[in-house]
Structure 1
Amino acid sequence: MYKRFTLPQILTWGFFGIIFLGTLLLLLPIATTHGQHTDVMTALFTATSATCITGLTLVDTANHWTIFGQIILLILIEIGALGFMSFTVLLYTLTNREMKLTTRLLVKDSLNLANLADTRTVMTYVISLSLAIQVLGALLLLPVFVPKFGWLSGTYYSLCHAISSFGNAGFVFFPGDFKIFADNTYMLLVTSVLIIAGGLGFLVWRDILLYRQTHRVSLHTKIAMGTSGILIMLAFLTFFVTEWQLPLLNHQNWWHRLVDTLFLAITPRTAGFAILPYAKLSLAGIAFTMLLMFIGGTPGSTAGGIKTTTLGLLTLQTWAALRGKTDVTLGNRRFSQDNINRALMLTFISAVFLVVTTLLLSLTETVPRHFGIEYIAFEVFAAFSTAGLSLGLTPHLTTFGQILIMLVMFVGRVGVFTVMFSVLNVHNRPAAFRYPQENILIG
């Protein structure tokens, strides 16, 4: 079977298989609460959103799905966050079997690893670290949920929210809305830490945890952490200015306002938890939120978007070009031209994909009178970044709109290159010849 398909095709079809299985399980009567009905499109959309760790939903998660249905969603979120190849490696580890070369290549592609060295070790580390962070997160959330829902339900909701936060999934499993915690500083800070932990990427965490032994961090980690830190600070300052007159924040004391603004700066890049209706934001706030969603998190993490390293590399390339330098360098290392070309191609293809999708949806979806094209574009960017934020369009999507948003969620999670190479059936064959080089006028 492996010989018939390319590695990107196997990864793409693997995610399709997980979504299909999740859809079948959500269609079972035991998955839906009494008095509710789940049609095929609702089950498919929800399974896609959970597997792609997005959080956009057509129905209320807490009221529509039973415990069985919610557990299916949690399993899909875990698979989507870690990648289905993680569980393949886990099976090999538990059975003490040696992984085939093809399996190791799939793991390398699914986690964006630079080489095949220690593939099994890296995956074992990824799974162990993920479980440890989620368990710790659940324990820290117990003081929030247990007093409110009791020990049994409180423990369950703590675990659900820890999984959803670390996976950057944005699903809310407890009754009510996440907005009820808008003034709960402890809840917002714990959730923010879980979001950042999931969005930084497993390879970054490995560098951080092993720093005492190695006394060095990779170039990937430097760019990922630097870009993420700058984005959080820039987003905080931007929202602090653009939403200064927002009534939902204006009535708060300074401490709550600062924490809420910080949460607004962290969650749009991939998490999808909303402490206020995003429709109430200023146009500048909505536009900046879309920019944050387009960027997303770090490669090899639970996040979507074009990724922080892409932005960081393109920024360094621009700065080098403006200074008349040919090479792009950082930390006494030079980036390859292939690396730069890949970042440029990813950004361009992603932008074109989002624009075309927005235009198509504008032909089929109804826009409320007080909104413009941002009503549709916001949903598209949220689906692509797997952030799952919404201005209110998702529950009112037409069938065509649901299919299109599912496609955007899938591409955002699996990866633009993976899906593109799968469709085009790309094989790495060296060219037999090259044409003469010629330049055109630019700018």
Structure 2
Amino acid sequence: MSRKIELPTPAEMKKFHNQSQRHTFWSRISMPQRLTLGFLTVISFGALLLMLPFSYNGSASHSFMDALFTATSAASVTGLTVVDTTTHWTVFGQIVIMILIEIGALGFMSFSVLLFTATRRQMDLRSKMMVQEVYSLESLYDTRVVFGYVIKLSVIIQIVGALLLSPFFITEFGIKRGAFYAVFHAISAFGNAGFTILPHGSNAYINQPWILFILAGLVVAGSLGFLVWRDLLVYRHTRRLTLHSKLALVMTGSLILGGWLLFELTEKNLAIASDVSPLNRVANTLFMSISYRTAGFTQFSFSQMAPATILLTIMLMYVGGTPGSTAGGIKTTTLGVLLLKTTAALRGKTNVTFAHRRLTQENITRSLLLVFVSLVFLGILSFLLMLTQGTDSKFGLEYIIFEVVSAFATAGLTLGLTPHLNIFGQIVIMLTMFIGRVGIYTVMFSVLNVHSDHAPYKYPEESVIIG
């Protein structure tokens, strides 16, 4: 008995062809490209929400570029603003900014992985590779485990921070406003975003060191990186730290201590606030060392600070936080690797060692490449801003370099240039903030679509004269 074969209809064939084309197109998008597109989607959606009439106060007005700039700054956890966050935005607008900070701090991939976890679905290889890219993992084996630490630890730290801040803010602003201020600033500080909605900013608490210490603790927690926190939490069971965590902790501690002592030196008279007591002066310079490097909360106006303080701030911002954290910059471990390589080279050693381990040549090469590319990138963007913004005599070279480095490091500090940026200047700074948050390597691989290429041959070696 013959069996009749049913052929698909033309409509079914067209549907199958379209699905195949979409699948082929999506499969051609690399992991860095997906990560970049994801951040762009979040920023665009946030900008549209900020354009809604109930997102800003009725007497205020702003353009779509202003909304896009604010959304980019929030999603990239930077803190640079072209409008005043406290007075311009309504509570709804401030909540949108707060959510964008949370997404930017944890990475948009965290929320997609959260969906996988909630629905008990298995993550595919592409999703795991994207989580690996976001959190700088070396292997895909413990992707879900690391994600569990990221979410749980982030929620716990931010809840504790909000609870610690609540008594101070509720006493001053009442229960509703005080609780909202506590939650907003706990998220902003942990995300190293530097956004504030306090009526007088964070400069109102220069004589309240406990508030500064709480904010500083949240900033350090966010800038250390989730992999370091995981190592610290399981240390009592494993009795060991990874080489990454050891180097990150050493460099973070050295930068905090070194920045603190140098700020004490550059602002030895603390002329910027003559009413600060000696004890509060120490607390404020310590807060400066922690916040200026990654977060951007400020207690004082930079116009009153010494030039040496501004230069020191630029250098600290350029370094930034730890890989896999909420902070930007070239990262503490990059600086650590370069310092170790320099020390080894000056001593005539071939191998670079730390904590009884030898660093790979790939580590050293990536660190050198990152520093070189970042300096070229910052130089080009600074040059572009000087061409377009440098016509105003009020904003000299230091204003532009400070602004560009702050945007790249997602630190959010400014000498006062941000509100005066023209359209082109806003685009340049938005691009800088975006690349600073997503990462230079991610953007480079997205644009260039880099693939590893192992050539079957090698050219003969020959040296050139250096120095």
- 2:458 match: 434
- 2:133 match: 109
Counterpart Cα distance in 2 of 1:208 and 1:234? 23
- 2:159 match: 135
- 1:15-30 alignment to 2 at 5 Å? 15-30=39-54
The answer on 1:357 being equivalent to 2:367 is: no
The answer on 1:216 being equivalent to 2:216 is: no
The answer on 1:6 being equivalent to 2:30 is: yes
Following TM superposition, where does structure 1 have runs of at least 4 consecutive aligned residues deviating by more than 4 angstroms?
Answer: 366-371
Query: What SS does structure 1 have at the residue aligned with 2:458?
Result: coil
State which drifts further: 364-373 or 396-405.
364-373
User: How far 1:174 sits from its partner (Å)?
Assistant: 2.6
- 1:237-276 alignment to 2 at 5 Å? 237-276=261-300
Letter in 1 for 2:58: H
User: How far 1:248 sits from its partner (Å)?
Assistant: 2.2
- 1:404 match: 428
The answer on 1:33 being equivalent to 2:57 is: yes
Identity of aligned residues (%): 53
Counterpart Cα distance in 1 of 2:432 and 2:270? 31
- 2:82 match: 58
C-alpha deviations, 1:106-161, integer Å up to 9, x for none? 10011100110110111111011000000000000012100110011100100000
Query: Aligned match of 1:122 in 146, 166, 184?
Result: 146
Structure 1 residue ranges without an equivalent (≥5) = none
Query: Aligned match of 1:78 in 94, 99, 102?
Result: 102
- 1:322-341 alignment to 2 at 5 Å? 322-341=346-365
Letter in 1 for 2:350: T
The number of residues matched between the two structures is 443
- 2:259 match: 235
Letter in 2 for 1:333: R
Query: What SS does structure 1 have at the residue aligned with 2:27?
Result: coil
Contact 1:6 1:427 in 2 (8 A): no
C-alpha deviations, 1:274-308, integer Å up to 9, x for none? 00012221111101100000000000000000000
| Largest Rg, 1 or 2 | 2
State which drifts further: 298-307 or 352-361.
352-361
Letter in 2 for 1:39: S
Query: Aligned match of 1:422 in 446, 452, 457?
Result: 446
- 1:174 match: 198
Counterpart Cα distance in 1 of 2:325 and 2:235? 19
Query: Aligned match of 1:192 in 212, 216, 226?
Result: 216
TM-score normalised to structure 1 length = 0.98
Letter in 2 for 1:107: V
Counterpart Cα distance in 2 of 1:16 and 1:195? 25
Contact 1:2 1:102 in 2 (8 A): no
TM-score normalised to structure 2 length = 0.93
Counterpart Cα distance in 2 of 1:390 and 1:143? 30
Contact 1:185 1:256 in 2 (8 A): yes
State which drifts further: 240-249 or 186-195.
240-249
Query: What SS does structure 2 have at the residue aligned with 1:97?
Result: coil
Counterpart Cα distance in 1 of 2:298 and 2:142? 39
- 1:382 match: 406
State which drifts further: 324-333 or 134-143.
324-333
Counterpart Cα distance in 2 of 1:343 and 1:112? 14
